[in-house]
Amino acid sequence: MSILVDEESRVVVQGITGKEGTFHTKQMLAYGTRVVAGVTPGKGGQEVEGVPVFNTVREAVKKQGANVSCIFVPAPFAADAVMEAAAAGIRVVVCITEGIPVLDMVKAAHFLKDRDCVLIGPNCPGIISPGKTKVGIMPGPIHKPGSVGVISRSGTLTYEVVDQLTKAGLGQSTCIGIGGDPIIGTSFVDHLERFREDDQTECVVLIGEIGGSAEEEAAGYVVQTRYPKPLLAFIAGRTAPPGRRMGHAGAIISGGQGRAEDKIRALEEAGITVVANLAEFGATARKILMDG
């Protein structure tokens, strides 16, 4: 099994005719993802890499059976693209776009609240179930099918950790980049719940960073539910000065909150193994999961 996406997922790429949309559509197709449609208003009737282009997501759902969306729409229009996908009945929306205005995301989050739609992102690398499908921009070759679930706020750190896991002989069930913006669609807790119920996933990796309280909330959930699977974590930004944004819009220590040491303490108190040195993540995971 895997969570949210698999080999049966039928993907529509919103913004497919743009440079990024076209490039990553080609990469997804090469991985084996079933990209069945693209959407760019005003360009319906064209094809990109053999994929038919429609003017609206609703058309893509009706004519091609799309049920997952991958968004490469420019920031000023991306929140509207998210809402269009949800309104058309798309069940999983992956928004790669970064720089979406916060007020736009407030509106989108409210729109999604009572709908049966899972938003991953924005400002994220997407989601991949290795050997089955990838929806987003992750480098496919570093991933390997297996039993480790990965949830991350950082794209590049995800790639580093996954590469180490794969080289250590630890494949992945599903890897999710939840995004680094202040307002995102899903949290560590949301996906911990999904991985808890997934038979393929035997261990979960959390990759966090400074800013916000997502990691502390995950730690609280683990304690509250007596989470039954081993957990490992890494927190980026230990040396970040307060008040300075580090990479992501949400990665900032503000008002004394969001510090790395507080997150690490909360995770360790919840019984989660926190790896201090990123270069040792793969070896540490192998020792815990394979060598006992």
Query: CATH 3.40.50.720 in the chain, residues?
Result: 10-120
Q: Which of 24, 143, 191, 248 is catalytic?
A: 248
Q: What is the CATH number of domain 139-289?
A: 3.40.50.261
Decide if 148 contacts 165 (C-beta within 8 A): yes
Each residue of 27-81: pLDDT tens digit?
999 999 999 999 999 999 999 999 999 999 999 999 999 999 999 999 999 999 9
Q: What is the pLDDT of residues 203-214, one digit of tens each?
A: 999 999 877 788
pLDDT per residue as tens digits for the range 227-283: 999 999 999 866 555 545 455 444 444 444 578 888 899 999 999 999 998 899 999
- Under a CB-based contact definition with an 8 Å cutoff, are residues 46 and 35 in contact? no
Superfamily classification of domain 10-120: NAD(P)-binding Rossmann-like Domain (3.40.50.720)
Q: What is the dihedral of CA 32, 33, 36, 38, to 10 degrees?
A: -120
Percentage of the chain beyond pLDDT 90 is 81
| 248 classed as catalytic | yes
Among 234, 231, 238, CA closest to 281:
234
Average pLDDT over the chain reads 91
For residue 162, pLDDT over 90 is answered with: yes
Residues carrying CATH 3.40.50.261, the chain: 139-289
